[in-house]
Amino acid sequence: MSANSGVDRYVAAARETMARRQADWKQMKRARFDTCAVHGLYTMGEALNSNQGSIIEPIYMSTSQAYRDSDEMEAALSYQIPTWCYSRIANPSMYYFENTLALLETYGAEIEASCVATSSGMSAILAATDSFLAVDPGDPAAPRNFVSTCQVYGGTFQQFSARRAQEQGIDCRWVIDSNNMDEWESKIDRNTRFVYGELPSNPGQAFFDLKKVIDIAHSHGVPVIIDNTVGTPALMRPLTLGADVVIQSVTKTLTSSGMGIAGAVIARKNLVSNFASDEMKADYAMYLKALPNRDFGQNLSPMNAILSLSEMRTLRSKVDLFSRNTQQVAEFLQGNAMVSEVGYLGLESHPLHELASRYLYLVDSEHDAQYGQKVNRYGHLLSFNVSGGVDNARRAFDALQRIWRATDLGRIKSVATIPAISTHSQQGEEGRQMAAIPGNMIRLCVGGEHVDDVIADLEQALDAVHGKVSVPVPSEFSYGGASGSTLAQPGE
Ligand SMILES: *Cc1c(COP(=O)(O)O)cnc(C)c1O
């Protein structure tokens, strides 16, 4: 504490603010998921005291906050009082977004967690893992390793294998069969900094017994980091099951409109780690915000924070709708002769269906008049393999007319990609084989269209593989204006 009594005055006043926010958090912890998603920590008090009564959270594009005097500046910049000092570190718009997400990821459990927003999902993974991988000052030459499922998003695969392993010499130990607990156990040792998993995985729908993996990791004093992008907190909340850190590509289902790139790290307070300092363990997300992220600068823009926040308000209903649509699409694909395999955890025939059903529930379905009981939902990502190999898969893919061809997922609009030539191209044939991503696999993320129209598009596209219907030639589409032939619009 400062010897300057002027600074102390501000610190004392800030205690009141912090107590009020703590009380707001406690109160929201008693509210249902949808209420947390709609309001977060933006209370009437916050609105009336500091935002002109606006019912919607403010978008403060300002880079920095002004201080009343040097004492307040000193208190703020030494982090003794809550502050928006500089938007690379903190900002009111980011604050409301971060706390809403922390509420959603901890929903249903009496755990304390906090959240730091980042510029993208990849920067969230970088931030979440980097501090755990720091060189041990007491033993700088000690080997460092981490253990991860090999079925991860392509960008994650590259970050771990190319950047961490090849460039930085940190041992990345892939778990090939994530349901083999002996494999996890055998890869963890005293130099393991963290265990990383993604479930359900993108695109392969891998899934593992998360609670068992957490128990194994914790028995070695190793923290567990989970990418919860595909499930979202509407279906699964790993922190409430004992995981230490969750990362989100907020870009995806959380911001289904596709209006921006964003990410977040949500971490439980007092997490497990043999290597982390006490300060890191106490409140990891706030540690990242105040120190490493301040210094590395992977902050989220306030505009994107509020766009994402706005989308998250309806998360539960959207994930329910998307999941129901996807279930029907998966069942359709399973019955189609042109499809050799469908990867969707919601299908009873999927080998991991039973395991996934123990984890993936629509949050609050038991409190919903429509359901009145816990119902399983499996999200809106699926994959399917087209019979006859790569060429057939490309033909079907090229014939899609309603479903967009794009490397994206989580959208309100249905989107498909061929992972081997896009999201997972960089990891090479060997990496794809390890992660079970064949060249004839199409990844499909089903959106909010009427499901009959999505199925009709898939049906005609799969028929087109054998030329049952004519594939539209590009001249039928306009690339410049309203619908019509490009030939009729020279120069566009
Ligand atoms: C897209 C994605 C990421 C990376 O997120 P960006 O926001 O694109 O940086 C990480 N994990 C999963 C599962 C993803 O789908």
Give me the pLDDT at residue 23, please.
95
Is residue 486 predicted with pLDDT exceeding 50?
Answer: no
422 near 203, Cβ under 8 Å?
no
- Please state, rounded to an integer, the average pLDDT across all residues of the chain: 92
Is residue 298 predicted with pLDDT exceeding 60?
Answer: yes
Is residue 478 predicted with pLDDT exceeding 70?
Answer: no
Extents of the domains making up the chain:
91-312, 315-466
CA of 121 to the centre of ligand 1 (A): 5
Is residue 476 predicted with pLDDT exceeding 80?
Answer: no
With a Cβ cut-off of 6 Å, ligand 1 is lined by 120-122, 153, 155-156, 198, 202, 227, 229-230, 249, 251-252, 261, 263, 409
Mean pLDDT of 191-219: 95
91-312 is classed CATH 2.40.50.200: no
CA of 249 to the centre of ligand 1 (A): 5
CA of 56 to the centre of ligand 1 (A): 28
Mean pLDDT of 404-425: 91
Poorest-confidence range of 64-73, 185-194, 483-492? 483-492
Give me the pLDDT at residue 49, please.
87
Q: Among 208, 201, 209, which residue's Cα sits nearest to residue 228?
A: 201
Is residue 2 predicted with pLDDT exceeding 70?
Answer: no
CA of 251 to the centre of ligand 1 (A): 7
Residue identifier of the C-alpha nearest atom 4 of ligand 1? 121
Query: Which residue of 101, 153, 300 sits with most ligand 1 atoms within 8 Å of its CB, as the best mutation to test the pocket?
Result: 153
Q: Is 242 left (phi over 0), alpha (psi -120 to 50) or beta?
A: left
How many percent of the chain have pLDDT more than 70? 94
Give me the pLDDT at residue 159, please.
97
> 148 pairs with which residues across the strands?
174, 196
More confident position, 481 or 225: 225
Mean pLDDT of 74-97: 93
Q: Which ligand 1 atom is at minimum distance from the Cα of 261? A: 7
Residue identifier of the C-alpha nearest atom 7 of ligand 1? 121
Q: Which ligand 1 atom is at minimum distance from the Cα of 152? A: 13
pLDDT for 349-394, tens place per residue?
Answer: 999 999 999 999 999 999 999 999 999 999 999 999 999 999 999 9
Is residue 272 predicted with pLDDT exceeding 80?
Answer: yes
Give me the pLDDT at residue 1, please.
47
pLDDT for 11-61, tens place per residue?
Answer: 999 999 899 999 999 999 999 999 999 999 999 999 998 899 999 999 999
Give me the pLDDT at residue 246, please.
98
Q: Which ligand 1 atom is at minimum distance from the Cα of 125? A: 10
The structure's pTM equals: 0.92
Q: Which ligand 1 atom is at minimum distance from the Cα of 251? A: 7
> In Å, what is the CA distance from 225 to each residue of 136, 204, 335, 450?
20, 19, 37, 36
Is residue 256 predicted with pLDDT exceeding 80?
Answer: yes
Give me the pLDDT at residue 469, please.
56
Query: Which residue of 201, 232, 249 sits with most ligand 1 atoms within 8 Å of its CB, as the best mutation to test the pocket?
Result: 249
CA of 387 to the centre of ligand 1 (A): 29
CA of 318 to the centre of ligand 1 (A): 19
Give me the pLDDT at residue 44, please.
94
User: Looking at the domain covering 315-466, what would its CATH class be?
Assistant: alpha beta
Tokens of 270: 């007092």
pLDDT range class, residue 472, cuts 50, 70, 90? low
Q: Among 302, 310, 315, which residue's Cα sits nearest to residue 119?
A: 302
Residue identifier of the C-alpha nearest atom 6 of ligand 1? 121
More confident position, 118 or 427: 118
> In Å, what is the CA distance from 131 to each residue of 60, 134, 245, 291, 389?
29, 5, 12, 10, 43
